[in-house]
Structure 1
Amino acid sequence: MGLFSSFGGHLRYTDGLQVDGAFSVAHINYGASPEFNGLDGRQLAQSSRANSISSSSRIKGVFNARFAFDGTEAGCSKSDRLELWKSYWLEYIRAFDLLTADLSKSVVTAYIGRHAVELGFKYILLSRDEAFPPVHRLDELSRAALSGPSGQESYLDFVVAFCEQYSRHIEDGKVEYFRFPDYSGGRFFAGNRLDIHWLSYNFALILLKLIHYTGLDEEFCL
């Protein structure tokens, strides 16, 4: 099976790029949309996008309108923003679940799992109407998300402790770990002896705990 066979197996490096695909407006007429854990992306933030070009079913004169929309919006309501964060989080969980089965030893799997955990902590803070720290470190985010009485449930034992030790002794504070092979201060990736399956096990368990903590068990039929 050739590389990128899902595109029909006919892609060649000599093929021309479809540059119109770099414009958000050009995508609208194809009727497609991203999927978020089975949910059609067109259903997200509908009220906040009511007067947006992204709510149009078809665009006339795509070429002339190509600069009219850049794929982002201002003025998202609190409820729509929370729903967007939830949808992103659940989709990363779904992708991580698939990767743990198909790429169990890949650093990409570890990265997606770690990012899903980060999204979970930030979703928890947003659901409490709290601003999350402008950081990506799991130690700081876990402490912020699971502070207070509600974070003292016994099933959450060691979640913060794991995130603190992981941030210190695997990432060494380098939040781009698993994304890139070198880091600030002249450091480079030396996780050559990491057991990715073991790391993913812990990320998966943290995610199950956070799913239950946020009352979203039914989203995955748990």
Structure 2
Amino acid sequence: MYIRYLGFGLLIWFPGALHAQHATPSCSAPRLDGGFFSPKQETYSDETALTYTCNDGRKPTVKGWWATSTCLNGTWSPEPQCIDEKACIAPDIPNTQYRENQSGWYNDEHKIRITCNEGYDPKGHNVTTTCINGKWSSVPVCEKNIHACGEPPQIPHAVIILQGYQDVFAADTGVQYQCQDGYTAEGGDTKKYVYCIAGNWTEGPVCSKWGHTLQRNQTWY
């Protein structure tokens, strides 16, 4: 009898325990120095969004005079924050890399030096920009090098291996094609490199079924 009641008690307790283990954490009200937010609550359930703005002389760490933040797994994302209005948020400079502040913003007069991605060059040799009174001065532009190539051509029954997708490749870059299983390129190989030469890709493989390739090769003799 004791075992029967014990089993019944476990059936009651386990669902509650499992629910507690899988419950998504809520968020406490954010601490926002120099601003205010809405709605004003002590706690917020997961995926709840709030909006905030900043007092005179300050601004959010995102573009605009007001911003939103969402409770995700117990953390506000992005974190509500008000900064000096003379500071700058991270600049959006396509096709480039630069050392980013972990805070996501930069003090007045801070200078950034950029490096263009492979296959791009800085327009006018400009590689720096400075935060001046809340705005970036002379933001660099990275433009495609005239000798670079676009994405390699798509070839039937072949895939590019050991290379993540990108839409611009620097001159003299090589990529390798792999023919689909059961297919070979002319010469009997299953792999072939192509190269970016002066803005154009060298000729890629023609992947054919193994039997068809053999028949074509036999006609060459």
User: Higher strand fraction: Structure 1 or Structure 2?
Assistant: 2
Would the TM-score normalized by the shorter structure come out above 0.5?
no
Specify the TM-score bucket, using the shorter chain as the normaliser. under 0.3
TM-score between the two structures when normalised by the length of structure 2 = 0.23
User: Higher helix fraction: Structure 1 or Structure 2?
Assistant: 1
In our comparison, the structure showing a higher alpha carbon Rg is 2
